[in-house]
Structure 1
């Protein structure tokens, strides 16, 4: 297959390949690359794709992808690059009379404008005679000098590799600005940032005709991004105040509805409802194409489920105020008890095993203690296959974006899953809230 260069964003490096693989699945594009040869500190990845058209389709909704470039040559020096390019003169002759432009970039070192001009002039042997057009040219050519890890006090003097080719497609990083939470009409203290919300939508394979559910919807970030890509979405939460807009940073707006109107996706957000996910009203059997969520793990808000503390009396909910029973009032909030993180995750996997269609995906955040984490800590389920595990570190703790795919009918009951979990050592996310405030919170204060 023809070779291409994927020009990746140098952000969230641990998420980039997982998103790229999901994009290939979404677009039905066969892609091949050497995982063992991936250079983690480089934004450039050599891949094989069937055609330039397929390559453009592969990256068109990528968030961690800047562009994809048809490979023409590479090497440690420009002489090596030129020698490879000259092996295929019929390819560059096609663009001899077309409008064009060159983009010269570098990684790990800053090139001056004079340096960039010299690089462009060194490719004069291509014989392009068409007009130079900086906006909307018929062909754009890309040169990148990779000097290695950026941020060094003494950058490498020579590039470790130089890449050259023709740009055939771009990602959708502009959506990060479109969905920037600073521009959002309604948000809360747990609102997920735009870049990662969009990446999660790609990981979930959100697309036209799919049905996506967020069981801890909060202020609805995932409803927005998944709906943007065409999915129909629905969300639920035990706390209706987040949904209605009485618990956000910006009050006086119509809660999640304000954001739906802002992004013009109200027709694809089917509903937002209030209930305890442990006692959900969904009909039995498969229903959703994806479940995308950020379970509350206690750093900003602790998870809750319906219940009463030991010894608590029920009389408060039975009170009558102004002739209306307390539990029937619009602002009534039922009694809840803490919902331990490991219990949340086990219940979430059981929910996904039952409610996802075969091939559907569960995408969720898992908090872990850095020093205690082991790969075996990621909970499993007989009906789910682990697709990706990407880490976002915060020093003493991390959160991991876990992507799982349903591979068949639920093969274990909730009781069986809990029995298997109870036989394993305590995972690094167990009692995460207590660990965070006992250790990490104290360290941050100091």
Structure 2
């Protein structure tokens, strides 16, 4: 198959391959690449794709992909690069007379305009006869010099690698600016940043005709991004104050509804509701194509669920109605109680195993103590398969974006397999505020 160069953004490096695989499934574009050749330190990866059209289709909604380039050659020196380009001279003939431009940049270094012009002049052997057009040319040729990190006071004098090819498609990184939380009408203290919200929508395979649910919806970041890509979405939360908001930016526009109007997705966000997901009103059986969520883990907002007081605390008194303490009555409406993080995750997987359709995805964030994390910390379920596990580090702790796919209908014999040891996310809130002392 023809070769192409995927040019990644140098952000969230641990998420890039996971998103690329999700894009492959979303767009039904088969890709082949050598994962051993991938380096988080490099934004370049060679992939095999059947055609230019399929390559452009693959990356059209990529967030961590800047562009995709038809491969013409690469080398550690220009002499080595030119030798490869000349071996593939059959690629030149289709562009002999068309308008063109060269785009020259360096990764890990800034090139002067004089250096760029000198590099362009070295490609004169291509002998293109068409006019140079800086805006909307028929063909745009990409030259990228790659400089890796250097610990010397002076920058590297020669690139480690030089990449060359023709631009055939670009990602959708402009959406990061569109959904920038600084531009959003309504925010909360747990609002997810735009870039990762968009990546999660891709991981969830959000697309027209799908139904996506967030059981910890907060201020609705995932409803916005999933519905932007055409999915129908809905959310719920035990605390309705974040959903409603306390003040609109315009009369009559409050909470999540302000953002839905801002981004024009009111027609695809079906509704939001207030209830405890542990006591949800959904009918039994599968109904969602994806569940996308960021469970509250107590750093900015603690997880809560409904629960009965047990009456064992002598400092808490209860009303007695008709000789029965009210917390024992059948019509007692319980208050919220803390919801431990490992219990949240276990319940979330159980919920997903039942409510997802086969082929549906669960995409969620898992906080963890960095130096205690073990891959076995992630609960397993016979109906769910782990697709991706990407880490975003924060010094002594990190959060992991976990993507799972439902691979079989739920059966009565299916049981959640939780870690036998205490996972690194257990009692995360207490660990966080105790500076991760061992408990």
Counterpart mapping for 1:12-27 below 5 A: 12-27=12-27
Measure the CA separation in 1 of the matches of 2:392 and 2:304: 25
Alignment of 1:253-268 (within 5 A): 253-268=253-268
Query: CA offset at residue 135 of structure 1?
Result: 1.7
Write the deviation string for residues 399-425 of structure 1: whole angstroms up to 9, x where unpaired. 0000000010124668x42xx42x610
Residues 326-361 of structure 1: per-residue CA shift (max 9 Å, x gap): xxxxxxx97200000000000000010000011100
TM-score by length of 2: 0.92
Matched, 1:439 2:423: no
Following superposition of structure 1 onto structure 2, how do residues 220-299 of structure 1 map, counting pairs within 5 Å?
A: 220-246=220-246, 253-299=253-299
| Distance (Å, rounded) in 2 between the aligned partners of 1:436 and 1:248 | 33
Equivalent residues of 1:366, 1:429 under 8 A apart? yes
What TM-score results when the alignment is normalised by the length of structure 1? 0.91
2:336 pairs with 1:336: yes
Q: Number of aligned residue pairs: give it.
A: 422
SS at match of 2:432: helix
Check the 8 A contact 2:353/2:410 in 1, yes or no.
yes
How far apart in 1 are the matches of 2:412 and 2:150? 48
- Summarize the Cα distance change of 1:25–1:152 in structure 2 as closer, same or farther, 3 Å threshold: farther
| Partner SS, residue 439 of structure 1 | coil
Q: Does 1:301 align with 2:297?
A: no
Give the Cα separation in 1 of the matches to 2:249 and 2:375.
36
Say whether the 8 Å CA contact 2:59–2:67 is kept in structure 1.
Answer: yes
Q: CA deviation at 1:251?
A: 11
| Cα distance in 2, alignment partners of residues 250 and 310 from structure 1 | 45
Moved more, 86-95 or 291-300: 86-95
Q: Following the alignment from structure 1 to structure 2, what is the Cα–Cα distance between the partners of residues 103 and 362?
A: 40
Match of 1:328 in 2: none
| In structure 2, distance between residues paired with 1:160 and 1:25 | 33
1:186 and 1:75 map into 2 onto residues whose CA distance is 49
Match of 2:422 in 1: 426
C-alpha displacement at 1:308, in angstroms?
A: 3.9
| 2:271 aligned counterpart, secondary structure | strand
For residues 148-195 of structure 1, the C-alpha deviation after alignment (integer angstroms, 9 at most, x for no partner) is 137864433221211100000000000000000000000100000000
Corresponding residue for residue 81 of structure 1: 81
Q: Is the Cα contact below 8 Å between 2:223 and 2:234 reproduced in 1?
A: yes
- Higher alpha-carbon deviation: 373-382 or 285-294: 373-382
After TM superposition, give the deviation of residue 314 of structure 1 in Å. Answer: 6.3
Q: Deviations over 1:375-432 (max 9, x none)?
A: 1111211111000000000000000000000010124668x42xx42x6101000000
Residues 209/337 of structure 1: CA separation in 2 closer, same or farther (3 Å cut): same
Find the counterpart in structure 1 of residue 30 from structure 2: 30
**Residue 309 of structure 1: how far off its partner (Å):** 3.5
- Matched residue SS, 2:131: coil
1:122 corresponding residue in structure 2: 122
Q: Hey, what's the Cα distance between the residues in 2 that align with 1:356 and 1:34?
A: 32
Structure 2 stretches of 5 or more lacking a match?
321-332
Partner of 2:325: none
Q: What aligned pairs does 1:114-193 form with structure 2 within 5 A after superposition? A: 114-149=114-149, 153-193=153-193
Contact 2:308 2:334 in 1 (8 A): no
Q: Distance in 2 between matches of 1:374 and 1:251?
A: 50
SS at match of 1:31: coil
Is the deviation greater in 196-205 or in 92-101?
A: 92-101
Structure 1: gaps (5+ residues): 317-332, 442-446
Root mean square deviation of aligned Cα:
2.2
Is residue 379 from structure 1 mapped to residue 375 from structure 2 by the alignment? no
Structure 1 pair 236–152 and aligned structure 2 pair: CA distance change class (3 A) = farther
Instruction: Note if 1:205 corresponds to 2:205.
Output: yes
In 2, the alpha carbon distance for the partners of 1:301 and 1:385 equals 29
> What is the deviation of 1:369?
0.2
Verify: 1:352 aligned to 2:352, yes or no: yes
Pair 369,277 (structure 1): closer, same or farther in 2 beyond 3 Å: same
The ranges of structure 1 where at least 4 consecutive aligned residues each deviate by more than 6 angstroms after the TM superposition are 247-252
Q: Determine helix, strand or coil for the equivalent of 2:224.
A: helix
What is the SS of the residue equivalent to 2:242?
Answer: helix
| 1:108 CA displacement | 1.8
Tell me by how many angstroms 1:250 deviates.
Answer: 11
CA separation of 1:239/1:313 partners in 2, compared to 1, >3 Å: closer, same or farther?
Answer: farther
Q: 1:2-21, aligned counterparts within 5 Å?
A: 2-21=2-21
CA contact (8 A) 2:99 2:139 kept: yes
Question: In 1, distance between residues paired with 2:247 and 2:341?
Answer: 23
Offset of residue 86 of structure 1? 1.3
Tell me the distance in 2 between the aligned counterparts of 1:43 and 1:232.
33
Relative to structure 1, the CA distance from residue 413 to residue 216 in structure 2 (aligned partners, 3 Å threshold; closer, same or farther) is farther
| 2:4 counterpart SS class | strand
2:86 paired with 1:90: no
Q: Is the 8 A contact 1:56 1:168 kept in 2?
A: yes
